[in-house]
Amino acid sequence: MTARMDWERAAQLLAAAQNIIVLTHIDPDGDAFGSMLGLAAALRDMGRRVITAVDGGIDPAFRFLPGADAVQDQLNGQNADLVIVTDCSDERRIGEVGKAGRALGVPVINLDHHRTNTHFGDAVLVDASTVAASEGVLDWLDVLGAHIGPATAQCLLTGIVTDTLCFRTSNVTERALGKAQRLMQAGGNLGEIVARTVNRTPAPVFMLWKAVMPRVRLEDHIIWAAISQSDFRQAGIHDEDDGHFVSLLMQVDQAYVACVLTEVERGVDISIRSVPGFDVSAVALALGGGGHTQAAGATLDGLTLAEAEAQVIPLLRDAVRAGSPQIR
């Protein structure tokens, strides 16, 4: 697995910083919030002043995380002497707060777990064998000899649980399970996290699935569906959140690759999954996006759903042809 760990450089940058901005990726998920807020809580325990921000601010589903109320939706001209970015594979995905953060001209630490990470920034802590950026945050805190308090534990455990669909993804390691256990011992509440995240689907999202289900296609081991703006409107969804419909599709036994295409303002967002034996990160990268071997995505600017489908499905056919299922 690919890893680049600039431990010394990162420790130097941290030692020299009192005011720290922690950012994450746009369209944040549980690992984005978990890694950003878990690191922020640990840095505060170390006596630093910390600002957290992401475009759009906190997602109500993650308001239960300690520190969620302090998440800003912009940087308001605030200064700092270090920026740390978590769970973000490339600089564009830090969004508008990222542009404002970079404009400060201070050092940047890039802490992530995407194999397509571009290694931007002044210190890179990217380990693609970690199941979540939140696991990487714990690794860094261990290297620093930092204390893991209950707020940090709850946030980091949330990142690990959501990125692994509660330890169900193929990349889960013994190490990750050991760290999850430590985070529970340090105050992380697994029952609460599961109840509030992976075991929970908002009713409008469920009604969206119901509407889209008749259009799902399964052909040559590829399962896919397209979701339009009108689907979201009719379901009463305003943030284009489909509740990880692609993960539901990936459960179908005949499918090796799953894809959901979503109509967004810029064009079409695609969300891709695969079973072990098939690599979809290369497909996403070829489309200008990124991700992991088994979970990747991209945004196709200016295309309609039909145009995007015509471009993406042949690439998925290639990916299916290039692999074979590891588990039959």
Which residues in this chain contact Mn ion in the complex, by CB under 5 A? Answer: 29, 31-32, 87, 132-133, 163
Nearest distance, CB of residue 89 and Mn ion, angstroms: 9
Nearest distance, CB of residue 297 and ligand AMP, angstroms: 2
193 binds ligand AMP (CB under 6 A): no
Report the DSSP beta bridge partners of residue 271: 260, 297
Q: How many CA atoms lie within 13 A of 84 on its CB side?
A: 31
Handedness of CA 84, 90, 95, 99 (dihedral sign): positive
Q: Of ligand AMP, Mn ion, none, which one sits near residue 290, judging by CB under 5 to 8 A according to partner kind?
A: ligand AMP
Tokens read off for 28: 């944040």
Interface mask toward ligand AMP for 90-109; x: CB under 6 A? ---x----------------
Q: Of ligand AMP, Mn ion, none, which one sits near residue 289, judging by CB under 5 to 8 A according to partner kind?
A: ligand AMP
H-assigned helices in 145-286 = 150-163, 174-185, 190-196, 203-212, 229-235, 245-249, 281-286
Q: Of Mn ion, ligand AMP, none, which one sits near residue 298, judging by CB under 5 to 8 A according to partner kind?
A: ligand AMP
Interface mask toward ligand AMP for 274-293; x: CB under 6 A? ---------------xxxx-
Q: Name the residue nearer to Mn ion (CB basis): 126 or 249.
A: 126
Residues of span 6-35 touching ligand AMP by CB under 6 A: none
How many whole angstroms separate alpha carbon 288 and alpha carbon 145? Answer: 38
Q: Name the residue nearer to ligand AMP (CB basis): 80 or 158.
A: 158
297 binds ligand AMP (CB under 6 A): yes
Report the DSSP beta bridge partners of residue 226: 261
Nearest distance, CB of residue 146 and ligand AMP, angstroms: 26
Q: State how far the alpha carbon of 308 is from the alpha carbons of 118, 174, 257, 305, in Å.
A: 25, 39, 17, 5
Q: Name the residue nearer to ligand AMP (CB basis): 121 or 297.
A: 297
Please list, in sequence order, all residues whose beta carbon lies within 8 angstroms of the beta carbon of residue 93, skipping any fewer than 6 positions away.
25, 26
Adjacency order of strands within the sheet including 108-112? 3-5, 123-127, 108-112, 82-86, 19-23, 49-53
Residue with tokens 């912009």: 74
Among 299, 312, 319, 320, binds ligand AMP (CB under 6 A): 299
Nearest distance, CB of residue 118 and ligand AMP, angstroms: 10
Phi/psi at 272 (5° precision): -125, 145
How many whole angstroms separate alpha carbon 253 and alpha carbon 101? Answer: 45
Among 24, 106, 114, 316, binds ligand AMP (CB under 6 A): 114
Residues interacting with ligand AMP, by CB under 6 A? Answer: 89, 93, 114, 246, 271, 289-292, 295-299
